[in-house]
Amino acid sequence: MSDVINANPTVLDASLLPKRDGVVLEKNEDSLVYQELTELSLDGLTYTDSEAEDEEEGFDSQEIYDLISTISDPEHPLTLGQLAVVNLADIKVIDHQDKSQIAEVIVKITPTITHCSLATLIGLGIRVRLERCLPPRFRILVLLKEGSHQSENQVNKQLNDKERVSAACENEQLLKVISHMLATCK
């Protein structure tokens, strides 16, 4: 990318990002590589096996945050959590006890600048990450936070058009960029 759109973003200290109390991050290199490979695989309707253990209690917003805050920004060597593009308070989960019911995740993102042309790409990256990780009962809504972007409605419409998102996921160039963004996910 030739021109950096926001050259000086505000950066949060990674150690201060919201975590569940007592959670120790594992740094096992082997399993990391393995997970990356499985999570990047594009085979149809599969989602990661780790959700099996989550099935018991359902998902909460911290788990959704953990899934998407580690996505890399397309133009900075920083995560969406560090850039406060993704914030715990802007994630809403409606998951029922009964796993045979339809559940919803609503993520509101805050681009670092209001004319960020990468907002759609970032939103798409979040959608793809969640579609791959969450069980099929989830309907995913990714929106720009109110007032955070000058083309809010346009970007929101595009990000939540099922057909456009599906087609975008068959675009190899785009998928390459997204895979790169998701490569930093735990």
> Which C-beta is closer to another protein: that of 44 or that of 147?
44
Interface residue with another protein among 44, 77, 97, 173 (CB under 8 A) is: 44
Q: Is 163 in the site for another protein (CB under 8 A)?
A: yes
Site string for another protein, 102-121 (x = CB under 8 A): x-------------------
Q: Is 139 in the site for another protein (CB under 8 A)?
A: yes
CB atoms within 10 A of CB 24: 6
Q: Where are the beta strands (DSSP E) in the chain?
A: 91-94, 103-109, 138-144
Q: Is 153 in the site for another protein (CB under 8 A)?
A: no
Interface residue with another protein among 157, 176, 180, 183 (CB under 8 A) is: 157
Site string for another protein, 73-102 (x = CB under 8 A): ---------------------------xxx
Determine the Cα–Cα distance for residues 80 and 175; give it in Å rounded to an integer: 18
Stretch that binds another protein, among 72-80, 114-122, 134-142, 177-185 (CB under 8 A): 134-142
Q: Which residues contact 160 (CB under 8 A, 6 or more apart)?
A: 141, 142, 143
For residue 90, the minimal CB distance to another protein (Å) is 21
Helix axes 172-182, 119-133, angle to 10 degrees: 70
Stretch that binds another protein, among 24-32, 69-77, 109-117, 131-139 (CB under 8 A): 131-139
The answer to whether the beta carbons of residues 155 and 123 sit under 8 Å apart is yes
Q: How far is CA 122 from CA 20, 36, 43, 174, in A?
A: 24, 19, 22, 11
Return the structure tokens found at 79.
């995560």
Q: Is 45 in the site for another protein (CB under 8 A)?
A: yes
Q: Which residues contact 61 (CB under 8 A, 6 or more apart)?
A: 88, 91, 92, 93
Stretch that binds another protein, among 49-57, 69-77, 79-87, 158-166 (CB under 8 A): 158-166
Q: Bridge-partner residues for 79, per DSSP?
A: 72
Where do contacts with another protein occur on this chain (CB under 8 A)? 44-45, 100-102, 135-137, 139, 157, 161-164, 166-167, 170
